[in-house]
Structure 1
Amino acid sequence: MAKSKKSKAKVNPKLAGFEIQIDSLGEIKSSLEIDKINKFLDKEVEDIKLIDQKKSKPKKEG
């Protein structure tokens, strides 16, 4: 079989230039700092676990 060409994934413009690799020792190498990635994820992605907690939280009757 012929090797398939690796195409680059669609990336949010705010993450332009972001690349991530895992070296032979299993260490993650990234072109962006982890703190910047976490800030982006906090702004752009809703945490499923937090949404479930909000739904199951009983309301207090006063």
Structure 2
Amino acid sequence: MAKKKKEEKDPSVHDELEGFNININEFGQIVTNFEVDKLNDFLDENVEDKKLRDRDDLKREEE
């Protein structure tokens, strides 16, 4: 029996990252179509940093 080919479809992403594409080229470099600063800003706003979660000194600065 012949193997079925997988359909390549775009994964579901957050609205702010619509059209985001990331690949690794033949030299092992990460290639994206978004600026790194824009990605970092998005991650800062939407993802909690697990390493900084329990630090008391950061909680004091927020207050």
What TM-score do the two structures reach when normalised by structure 1? Answer: 0.77
- Output aligned runs, 1:1-62, within 5 Å: 1-51=3-53, 53-54=54-55, 57=56
Kindly report structure 1 stretches of 4+ aligned residues shifted beyond 3 Å: none
Amino acid in the other structure paired with 1:47: D
In 2, the alpha carbon distance for the partners of 1:36 and 1:11 equals 15
Aligned residue pairs total 54
In 2, the alpha carbon distance for the partners of 1:17 and 1:45 equals 20
What TM-score do the two structures reach when normalised by structure 2? Answer: 0.76
- Unaligned ranges ≥5, structure 1: 58-62
| Superposition deviation, residue 34 in structure 1 | 0.5
